[in-house]
Chains A and B, each alone.
Chain A
């Protein structure tokens, strides 16, 4: 089976653009806080909450935009599923690398300005400069948020309103993975999401994160394996 070069390249290109804009905006806000208020914590840590939603919609777009595109161009659902899975596996490390790079660039800025890059929330890492742990955390988050988005969108694409039934399962996978890396999860309206207290080491966190990712893939495939393309625009 072919390597999904263009699917991956298009998504990576878009992510790089978004990351660039996002980084500039966060940096400007950081400087504004430092100038007009008091900067005590890492701004990047707060800002990257948004990145999770971006990753969720990467998964949504895979199903909503790219799956119909593939099938309409004569590819099978199996070929698309393989390409989407490979793309997710390679996209997630790239996303994790960019998010980690954000911390490092922030560390440089904070160091130059003499600000304190303290963290407010618990993580698998204690400091933003613990690059391997930061990378692993973001890798797990990226894999699971993308897969969660794809799984829930697959449900909505196939069953429309019935797709709501996939939401609790999708959220459960995300919550479990986030808990394994010790991250706090916030959702609109719900604010802080109740999470299981998992005090996991790095290897356990990786194992739980990968398990959530694989379960997400395994649950998505039966939904799309014979899904009909809609006759009307979604």
Chain B
């Protein structure tokens, strides 16, 4: 199901959380939604999942408005760490209601995920660790098999092995049952390999929506003697720089053509890939803040 967002604005009283967001997400891809704290990620996902109504603009899922639309909302699943889907007595209770309310619920898959994350049905959700609650949210999210499944940092409470188990399960299940998945996360290096496309928002505005590989290709670390680096990067969009003695590494944004690459080699400069996290940091850096 395609997601079409146009002119989206969301206000909380006097505070504007999202402003004039416009983008389209095609069906059947894994998207990374990145943004700093308070950038509007949760607000955006909440509007996409009809958890709240937008102040202005349109949000269409499968060509239909999403808020209070019973023809659309059953196909959307948003798991947040606020725990709406799991804070209901025991794990068994959470699964009992998920099975009943989710039209595509896969009970057998849910059971296998419970085993994988070492959860039992008798566990009281209120007594669970944060990691266990997160894992239960992951179970509900994945087993819902919703055509649009979104996780809003809902797996951050899990320990590293559990998070990697989540990434494995997500990818395996996505391959077997293709659907649109949106992951909002601060663990960019860890989850970045999963993303087919990346959406970055900052202070409620869209900073970038791009194919992951293309995004990574746009960032290039140019390393070498400071004078040569400065000469090469003059006129290019720089995202940041680091110095160590006479050596300097400048990250530039924008694809280099063959002539530029040849010129860099001739100047004795090294061109290396940039990390998605570095690009994200630079792209969302407040103006005037030192890099």
Contacts and interface: CB of A to CB of B under 8 A. Distances in A.
Given A75-B73, A75-B101, A228-B51, A65 B88 contact: yes
Given A68-B84, A73-B102, A229 B73 contact: no
B106 interface: no
Contact of A70 (B52, B68, B101): B101
A50 interface: no
Nearest to B105: A73
A231 B144 CA distance: 21
A52 interface: no
B97 A73 contact: yes
Given A6-B96, A10-B93, A74-B74, A231 B101 contact: no
B53 interface: yes
A228 B52 CA distance: 4
Contacts of A230: 82
B70 interface: yes
B51 A78 contact: no
B46 interface: yes
Given A10-B96, A74-B73, A226-B53, A231 B68 contact: no
Given A74-B102, A231-B46, A69 B85 contact: yes
Contact of A78 (B68, B78, B100, B101): B68
Nearest to A70: B101
A79 B70 CA distance: 8
Nearest to A233: B82
Contacts of A73: 77, 85, 97-98, 101-102, 144
Interface in B34-49: 42-43, 46, 49
A73 B53 CA distance: 16
Interface in B54-92: 67-70, 73-80, 82-85, 87-88
A7 B85 CA distance: 14
A87 B158 CA distance: 36
Interface in A166-225: none
A76 interface: yes
Given A231-B46, A233-B82, A74 B96 contact: no
Interface residues of A, number: 24
B50 interface: yes
Judged by DSSP, the binding face of A is helix
A75 B49 CA distance: 10
B146 interface: yes
B82 A74 contact: no
A123 interface: no
Contacts of A75: 70, 73-74, 101
A75 B93 CA distance: 17
A227 B83 CA distance: 17
Contacts of B79: 72
Contacts of A233: 82-83, 87
Contact of A71 (B84, B96, B146): B84
Given A76-B69, A76-B70, A69 B88 contact: yes
A5 to B, nearest CB: 8
Contact of B85 (A5, A72, A76, A232): A72
Contacts of A69: 84-85, 88, 97, 101
Given A232-B82, A233-B83, A71 B51 contact: yes
A226 B102 CA distance: 21
A76 B75 CA distance: 12
Contacts of B77: 73-74
A189 to B, nearest CB: 29
Contacts of A228: 46, 51-53
B46 A77 contact: no
B81 to A, nearest CB: 9
Interface in A47-86: 65-66, 68-79
A180 to B, nearest CB: 35
Contacts of B97: 6, 10, 69, 73
B101 A74 contact: yes
Nearest to A231: B42
Given A73-B102, A74-B146, A233-B83, 6 more contacts: A6-B97, A69-B97, A72-B79, A228-B53, A229-B51, A229-B52
21 contacts: A5-B100, A6-B96, A6-B97, A10-B96, A65-B87, A69-B84, A69-B88, A72-B51, A72-B79, A72-B84, A73-B77, A73-B85, A73-B102, A75-B74, A75-B101, A78-B68, A226-B68, A228-B46, A228-B51, A228-B53, A230-B82
Interface of B: 42-43, 46, 49-53, 67-70, 73-80, 82-85, 87-88, 93, 96-98, 100-102, 144, 146
